[in-house]
Structure 1
């Protein structure tokens, strides 16, 4: 007996405004199809909502806002690259588009795609058509559906589990790709370009029914008229590899192989997600839960069952409460699993044991296991650009043009070239050296290497404050403070976003900055170095000017009380915020110096004051600034030396 789909959305609680826009769109066609033909600089609100499904956000350059004048409208275009795969032809097309229509940069996203910024409405159609004609797509890169499917970017050819992760990331992306013809009708005048043949197994799985996962007689058999309640994020990884931030995904599949290295099935996590809203306690970041194990032959049916559960039971009345994480949090894992089993058509198997997950970034020159090499290149905040003597954009283009190499974009917005024959390694290295691009990750400042920031201002409409433009200076200030406090060799994961939506995943960082006001951030502490533990909010609003004075007592406490080899995030989690706050409240600013140079002083907490002549004070202040030390330290050292001479 075929189970029918749930009642139409209109028969339930009053849906949000966006649900009505989707319902009236004729499967994502209108009003985008009409308005793209109009000689205007921007789309209406209804069209903007639908444009996201096609892979674009309408933005304006907030640096250029002038009262009384029209906004400087422009468009961000995001690509769909399952597992981060970018063929050479596509990269060159994107590079050209960034110069012809964009702002002369590309940006690697934290979901392994590329973003083009600064495209005008009149050029949007040509840009999307060019991407599709060069083996790419933007369909489903944004909007209320499955986003880009992530996978570890490491091209290990001698480790079959990595190859399975790539294969199934691509297949699940195909399975959940929107089937509407709107995309090709609008952007390619109806010409459907096929970049790769879809797996027959995936085609069959998309139509297979009997348990209610399919909506019959619909242009969208999996999504239906209203698509998903909100965005839906999937990744596929391998045991131990957390390069994908697996706990932050709506759905994570972990490859399980047998002793012969053959695929057996997948462990399944569900219910992760980071987006939240300040001062709305009903919104929160959440880690994914262990759900079950599924055999490889059933994996597509299980994915459909989880998608159908969220599609039919996710909250469509309040978009702040619409992600799968809220459904699982409200229901509990057992009820969620039970509903998934109804759509799956049978009971699921127990979750299998896994090793601890570790974070890796795969930077530098490495063997890929078949005699060839791969090269991971660090890209600060994902921004591919030429600036001064640093010519990353030029270097990448030359490498692709000369050697026709494919690349994988990483979840940490870096780039990996692979399938590199050893005999061309010197030529590639020569290009990198000439363009000022670092290939040895050990020479990268560790705080920079492991940091991430979202684009934020000036283009993101949700940004409250700076992120990408602010983090280089803030990281340098943190490094200066660490050096001053005797923590020269210390580093940790820092992530920053200009708003609470969490695009750079700051809630998993050891130190997270989340935009909370102009030049101000909410600070999160206590995530793990491997991104397996959620951080917690420590302070609601920290002004940019106060970062050093805020962090100094915490870093001092870390220096004095950490366990051997303990990371900063683990320390904050172990001690707890009450202990951190108590220490900070009793800390005398500038009173600590590293043990090797720390002057002898009374254990008393009392503060002794002396007066200095103005000219002496100014000289002392200048000396302290040049040496990067508090004035108190210099005074104590000078007086101690003087008093020793007298004794």
Structure 2
């Protein structure tokens, strides 16, 4: 299908402006994401961007306005505005980062980001604690190493993920390059980003400014990922569009296509739910762009633009029916899917320590608890970046792989690690399979702690595991500070989502490889109840498990929770 065909269809199913939701009307009148952002950046009276619409539009530019919630009450009592600051998310397709890019990220974090970086659960970096005057310096600094923040947030295609397990390295370069190509293809084409952040002049063009997205972009965010079996580290079933690599006799044969995954839900709104993606067929490798275009076109044209809680692709699929959506994708592509091909996932974690691949290169995984790169870790990896001749891979489990190391360079990297962090691998099995979102104090959506609290909660869970002789059992734990699910908690064997300070929903029974949703067992409870429930479950698991049985599988088999067969039954 040609680009012109996409342009011709882009407004076929448009709705009158007055019938759109508020955010849709805002996008429609934003002048392709320009709004009045440039003017708001000049306002010196406030540390915020004054216009509420501009705050939303800046998400398309990779920027969230936030405030320090630890100080919110105190500043309110002092009749001061909130301690406004910003989060900036980098677009990093497939999580691949060069040493030069890492050094620039490090420099900018020290100068403008509170001497810290965060590794996200979608393989990229976030700057926090950024003041308004530092927004342009960071974005312009990133540009020096060919990085940007375009479409890192907003109602568009978010950062494209790709498996980075070194054991899958036979195809990693080809699939990572495909992830980068897809990312560059699906991001918005508006020049607003370059005008606002780089000072480029607006130039009139002869064609549509957004030939695919139109004026209202996507109904909601849209997430794409590439998985390389046997690793499901990207949690491909949590993606709106997942490509599962299939090997052939002569290399990469193509991809199984999975659609309709998504984690977000809203408490007290049973019509919202997480959903696992459905595998609908196979395509040759050279049809990936056509498939991505078609899938996004169907969601663009049929997704709900009145109710944002109902606007993700998963709801479009469940409303229209999977068969109808698949047929519409095939019609839009101009060809039919082949039957899905066999594949197997055996892990969704990282390979720790040194790994050597058939090409003779070495890969060293560095465990970064909850993705938090504070000054000590920044110093360590900066020293590595100065001597490293390969790349860095950012993992979906919030770790860093020093990738492509030559044999003669290993001792140098080992010496740097020994100097900065001699016991860097001294993490329990439980912590190696745990991730958390940032949550408080910066995220405006957080209802409870996540990143700052999970380590201490794991201390207590580890003690219970030790009492039951389970310390060496791999169990996935995911914690989010709210129900939106950035850490993908609803597919964890143990999932926790924040409800209020110190209170969480507790979920059990997810699939170890990300292949099954879990189910809530306790609602809005504190740590004592969480530990009591886990102690009982671990005790039974220790006594009654079958050989090789994962904890989540046992929870289902033992009848502790009923399996969730489809996302729409998650709240039953």
TM-score, reference length from structure 2 = 0.92
Is 2:8 the partner of 1:19?
A: no
Q: How far does the alpha carbon of each residue in 1:139-160 deviate from its partner, in whole angstroms, 9 at most, with x for none?
A: 011000001100011356961x
Q: Where in structure 2 are the equivalents of 1:487-502 lying within 5 Å?
A: 487-502=470-485
Is 2:74 the partner of 1:30?
A: no
Equivalent of residue 250 in structure 1, options 208, 225, 240: 240
Q: Is the 8 A contact 2:279 2:340 kept in 1?
A: yes
Is 2:221 the partner of 1:231?
A: yes
**CA–CA distance in structure 2, aligned partners of residues 469 and 578 of structure 1:** 29
Is 2:125 the partner of 1:118?
A: no
Per-residue deviation, 1:8: 6.3
Counterpart of 2:113 in structure 1 is 102
Equivalent of residue 314 in structure 1, options 303, 307, 321: 303
Counterpart of 2:163 in structure 1 is 152
**CA–CA distance in structure 1, aligned partners of residues 561 and 116 of structure 2:** 44
Q: How far does the alpha carbon of each residue in 1:528-567 deviate from its partner, in whole angstroms, 9 at most, with x for none?
A: 2212111111111211243322322222222222222322
Which of 1 and 2 has higher RCO (CA within 8 Å, sep 6+)?
2
Per-residue deviation, 1:33: 2.1
**CA–CA distance in structure 2, aligned partners of residues 505 and 111 of structure 1:** 10
Superposition CA RMSD, Å:
2.1
Counterpart of 2:393 in structure 1 is 408
SS at match of 2:188: coil
**CA–CA distance in structure 2, aligned partners of residues 51 and 6 of structure 1:** 24
Is 2:103 the partner of 1:92?
A: yes
Equivalent of residue 269 in structure 1, options 227, 239, 258: 258
Counterpart of 1:202 in structure 2 is none
Per-residue deviation, 1:303: 1.1
Counterpart of 2:566 in structure 1 is none
Per-residue deviation, 1:217: 4.0
* Structure 1 unpaired stretches of 5+: 193-215, 581-647
Off by >6 Å, runs of 4+ in structure 1: none
**CA–CA distance in structure 2, aligned partners of residues 120 and 437 of structure 1:** 35
SS at match of 2:80: coil
CA pair 565-305 structure 1, distance change in 2 beyond 3 A: same
Counterpart of 1:482 in structure 2 is 465
SS at match of 1:128: helix
Q: Is the 8 A contact 2:168 2:228 kept in 1?
A: no
Counterpart of 1:536 in structure 2 is 519
Counterpart of 2:568 in structure 1 is none
SS at match of 2:19: coil
Equivalent of residue 510 in structure 2, options 518, 527, 544: 527
Q: Is the 8 A contact 1:231 1:323 kept in 2?
A: yes
Q: Is the 8 A contact 1:508 1:528 kept in 2?
A: yes
**CA–CA distance in structure 2, aligned partners of residues 438 and 367 of structure 1:** 21
Q: Is the 8 A contact 1:293 1:350 kept in 2?
A: yes
**CA–CA distance in structure 1, aligned partners of residues 313 and 491 of structure 2:** 19
Per-residue deviation, 1:326: 0.7
Is 2:174 the partner of 1:164?
A: yes
SS at match of 1:139: coil
**CA–CA distance in structure 1, aligned partners of residues 463 and 346 of structure 2:** 31
CA pair 491-256 structure 1, distance change in 2 beyond 3 A: closer
Per-residue deviation, 1:493: 0.8
Q: Where in structure 2 are the equivalents of 1:19-58 lying within 5 Å?
A: 19-39=24-44, 40-43=46-49, 44-58=51-65
* Structure 2 unpaired stretches of 5+: 564-572
**CA–CA distance in structure 2, aligned partners of residues 467 and 36 of structure 1:** 31
Is 2:314 the partner of 1:325?
A: yes
Q: Is the 8 A contact 1:13 1:317 kept in 2?
A: no
SS at match of 2:162: coil
Equivalent of residue 407 in structure 2, options 395, 401, 422: 422
Is 2:465 the partner of 1:465?
A: no
Q: Is the 8 A contact 1:156 1:162 kept in 2?
A: no
Is 2:244 the partner of 1:285?
A: no
Q: Is the 8 A contact 2:168 2:229 kept in 1?
A: no
SS at match of 1:62: coil
**CA–CA distance in structure 1, aligned partners of residues 504 and 280 of structure 2:** 35
